[in-house]
Amino acid sequence: MADQLISTAVHRELPGSYVRPESQRPRLDEVVPDAQIPVVDLAGPDVVSRIGQACATHGFFQVVNHGVPLELMAAMLAVAYDFFRLPPEEKAKLYSDDPAKKMRLSTSFNVRKETVRNWRDYLRLHCHPLEQYVPDWPTNPPSFRDTVSAYCREVRELGFRLYAAISESLGLARDYAEKALGEQEQHMAVNFYPECPAPELTYGLPAHTDPNALTILLMDQQVAGLQVLNQGRWIAVNPRPNALVVNIGDQLQALSNGRYRSVWHRAVVNSDMPRMSVASFLCPCNDVLIGPAASLVTEESPAVYRDYTYAEYYTKFWSRNLDQEHCLELFRTTS
């Protein structure tokens, strides 16, 4: 129900349904504050090897000179803030907790399944092909459809450029990933994390890996919140001017036969300021068979995962809790 949205009320105390048991709390004082994830200048030298290195060591990197116009990034964040400032009745019309819906405003992660809530509201949109989905998108704020469509187009192009570099870095043809993943769907999550009265007791999003192939994240420039697991420690990914954050999803881990890593990450919240992030997910076509690329399977490195369809994978992903074991573990070869 729409009254579950947290962005429609002011909260002076954290409701009990958001409080994590002691052992699951974020332990914010143990997070590495000033670690760096790799930064790749897409207009600079050695792009392919730098991306390959980042995918293998961190599963995350930031890109600059990425071709997405900076004013469009700013406009996207601005319209996202305007959207979440709409009056409650306006937002209520868009609310749904059915993950099968192609346009919905929701809260937490999966309110039908989870036992503890997360301090996040989110708008989820299907974005490709645009002509098919835009007619169902919000009409308010008035610039929403134009701004978000333009942003989606640019991000998709960037995604395909990244696929080419990632494929090449694995020794595959530059169009390998794009072809192997079929006609790509594209989804967007506009994540809004309001100020939280007790950030040390809860999450915006608990630790998870992304089930899709590649994620491009536009982060609030003022407020940090994304953290990535690296060598057993949580490291903070601080916003970098003009950069976009890229991460490998489960499907590229499978395709690379485990060489590239879809790593655990989470969003934490804070008591001072709201935070916005806009995640664009490139997702394989539902019925294409996904598995390790043939040339990456050798006697010394046998296939780590079996072949499966994304439809099968996605159903499994949404039937679990976010912070259970890595979903790909369920698709390991048994031999």
**Residues that bind ligand OGA in the complex, under the rule CB under 6 A:** 189, 191, 205, 210, 225-226, 265, 267, 277, 279
Cα separation, 190 vs 123, whole angstroms? 5
Peptide bond before residue 199 is cis, with ω within 30 degrees of 0? no
How many CB atoms neighbour CB 79 within 10 A?
21
Least distance CB 301 / ligand OGA (angstroms): 29
Cα separation, 291 vs 285, whole angstroms? 13
Structure tokens at 303: 């296939």
Least distance CB 265 / Ni ion (angstroms): 6
Q: Which residue is nearest to Ni ion (CB)?
A: 210
Least distance CB 171 / Ni ion (angstroms): 27
Least distance CB 216 / ligand OGA (angstroms): 11
In this complex, which beta carbon is closest to ligand OGA, that of residue 226 or of residue 304?
A: 226
Q: What dihedral angle (degrees, nearest 10) is formed by the CA atoms of 201, 205, 209, 214?
A: -150
In this complex, which beta carbon is closest to ligand OGA, that of residue 209 or of residue 257?
A: 209
Beta strands in 59-177 (DSSP E): 60-64, 103-107, 121-126
In this complex, which beta carbon is closest to ligand OGA, that of residue 7 or of residue 257?
A: 7
In this complex, which beta carbon is closest to Ni ion, that of residue 172 or of residue 283?
A: 283
In this complex, which beta carbon is closest to Ni ion, that of residue 121 or of residue 210?
A: 210
CA atoms within 13 A on the CB side of 304: 19
In this complex, which beta carbon is closest to ligand OGA, that of residue 210 or of residue 250?
A: 210
The size of the interface with Ni ion (CB under 5 A), counted in residues, is 1
CA atoms within 13 A on the CB side of 283: 24
Least distance CB 297 / ligand OGA (angstroms): 29
Which 296-315 positions form the footprint of Ni ion (CB under 5 A)?
Answer: none
Residues 6+ apart with CB under 8 A from 213: 177, 181, 184, 249, 251, 252, 255, 282, 283, 284
- 209 is in the binding site of which of ligand OGA, Ni ion, none (Cβ under 5 to 8 A by kind)? none
Phi/psi of residue 138, nearest 5 degrees:
-55, 145
Site string for Ni ion, 192-211 (x = CB under 5 A): ------------------x-
Residues 6+ apart with CB under 8 A from 257: 292, 293, 296, 297, 301, 303, 304, 305
Helix (H, G, I), strand (E, B) or coil at 128: coil
DSSP secondary structure of 31-55: SBSS----EEETTSS-HHHHHHHHH
Cα separation, 166 vs 142, whole angstroms? 37
Least distance CB 267 / ligand OGA (angstroms): 4
Q: Which residue is nearest to ligand OGA (CB)?
A: 277
Least distance CB 225 / ligand OGA (angstroms): 5
Looking at residue 115, its amino acid is T
- 226 is in the binding site of which of Ni ion, ligand OGA, none (Cβ under 5 to 8 A by kind)? ligand OGA
In this complex, which beta carbon is closest to ligand OGA, that of residue 279 or of residue 282?
A: 279
In this complex, which beta carbon is closest to Ni ion, that of residue 210 or of residue 220?
A: 210
Least distance CB 105 / ligand OGA (angstroms): 15
- 206 is in the binding site of which of Ni ion, ligand OGA, none (Cβ under 5 to 8 A by kind)? none
In this complex, which beta carbon is closest to Ni ion, that of residue 59 or of residue 86?
A: 59
How long is the chain?
335
Beta strands in 51-115 (DSSP E): 60-64, 103-107
Which 208-227 positions form the footprint of Ni ion (CB under 5 A)?
Answer: 210
Least distance CB 277 / ligand OGA (angstroms): 3
- 267 is in the binding site of which of Ni ion, ligand OGA, none (Cβ under 5 to 8 A by kind)? ligand OGA
Interface residues with Ni ion (CB under 5 A) are: 210
